Amino acid sequence: MRRVLSFTAPVLLALAASTAVARDLPEYKLVIKNHIYQPSELKVPAGVKFKLIVHNEDATPEEFESTDLNREKIVLPNSSSFVYLGPLRAGHYKFFGDFHQDTAQGRLIVE
Ligand SMILES: [Cu+2]
């Protein structure tokens, strides 16, 4: 019993800490409409971890994807999803909609 307690307590503390950090992160939002990202250029601060929410207003699924940012996330029709990003260095990071690459293109402007 004593061994179990000494093992689980640090794990629970770590979980509580990561939850608190995630809750306090700044949030930025992209909207997908007619298979186009709005805005197509999103400014975010350098050196900060943040939550990027992607809301899909279309009736078909999309996948937020970025090779530059090493992320891909399915966003169901009329739904939101999110990814955690950063801290990022200043620069431009392209993203796209994997299912509609002809039109769904954008970039993060990190400064
Ligand atoms: Cu993909």
* Residue 88 C-beta-side C-alpha neighbours within 13 Å: 21
Measured in Å, residue 20 CA sits from the centre of ligand 1 at 30
- Does the structural domain 25-110 have CATH classification 2.60.40.420? yes
42 CA to centre of ligand 1 in angstroms: 20
Whole-model pTM over 0.85: no
d(CA 95, CA 18): 27
pLDDT for residue 61 is more than 80: yes
- Cβ of 82: how many Cβ atoms within 10 Å? 17
**Summary mean pLDDT of the chain:** 89
pLDDT of amino acid 24: 84
Contacts for 38-42: CB closer than 8 Å, 24+ residues apart? 39/106, 40/105, 40/106, 40/107, 41/106, 41/107, 41/108, 41/109, 42/106, 42/107, 42/108, 42/109
* pLDDT the model gives residue 83: 98
Contact indicator for 91, 70 with CB cutoff of 8 Å: no
pLDDT tens for 21-39 read 667 899 999 999 999 999 9
Rounded distance from Cα 92 to ligand 1 centre (Å): 20
